[in-house]
Amino acid sequence: MQKEGIEMSVIDLSMAQKIFEGAQKKSSELSANFCISIVDPRGDLIMFVREDGAPWRSVFISQGKAAASAAFMQSSGKLAEGGPNPIHQGLMSMLGGRMIPGQGGLPVYDGETIVGAVGVSGGTPQEDEEVAASELKVGDRIRIRPGDNVAADGKILSGQGSINQANITGESLPVDKGTGDEVFAGTINLNGVQEVDVTSAGEDTTFGRVR
């Protein structure tokens, strides 16, 4: 039973529209056609768009990725790594397969509070995630949790952890990062939670320039 006076924080339509605009701008740069879903923290649909030519299956996949990302408060692609997780599998089974652990779903935060998630399907897994992350802009603040793919270049405002930067620098060992250090899109946070100020996003990131 929900306590009186306590409400779940959710993405409002203004925020959802900004996410859509960024995602559709990014999708216009790619050859694939996408479905984009935005959900609240429970996984209930708030906004949805299906681009002309997007596969029919992407309608359901995009919503499943968003629901999984919202439920577990991390990128949906991370849920598929490291083998089956009994907790994840159990909840997904109870919900009738509604959640899909696949790259292309990212949680959305307002400060420290999760307000929903965005899920994308229609391209390659990497393209789906690029479209999902495209609403990020310089000056935004993002929270990076253990196992998350870093979605943008930025500077750590608080927190610390170890980052796998192999696909950017070629380093085989993770690098310890803390307040004031830079992080790069496309790298993986192995442990710790960091609050990051976005300094570059999309094609302007280090990862976007070296691909």
What is the phi-psi region of residue 195: left when phi exceeds 0, alpha when psi lies from -120 to 50, beta otherwise?
beta
Rg (CA), the chain: 16
Query: What pLDDT is recorded for position 1?
Result: 43
pTM of the model: 0.70
pLDDT per residue, tens digit, the chain (211 aa), is: 444 544 567 888 888 888 888 888 888 888 999 999 999 999 999 999 999 999 999 999 999 999 998 988 887 777 766 556 777 777 777 777 788 888 888 888 776 788 899 999 999 988 898 888 877 777 777 888 787 878 888 999 999 999 998 878 888 889 999 999 999 888 888 998 888 888 887 666 776 655 5
Q: What is the pLDDT of residue 47?
A: 93
Confidence at residue 100, expressed as pLDDT on a 0 to 100 scale: 87
- Assign residue 136 a region: left if phi > 0, alpha if psi is -120 to 50, beta otherwise? beta
Place of tokens 């849920």: 79
In this prediction, residue 6 carries a pLDDT of 44
Going from the C-alpha of 165 to that of each of 23, 28, 174, the distances in angstroms are 25, 29, 7
Quick one: pLDDT at residue 29? 86
CA 131 to chain centre: 10
Q: What is the pLDDT of residue 61?
A: 94
Cα 129 to chain center, whole Å? 7
- The per-residue pLDDT for 97 is 72
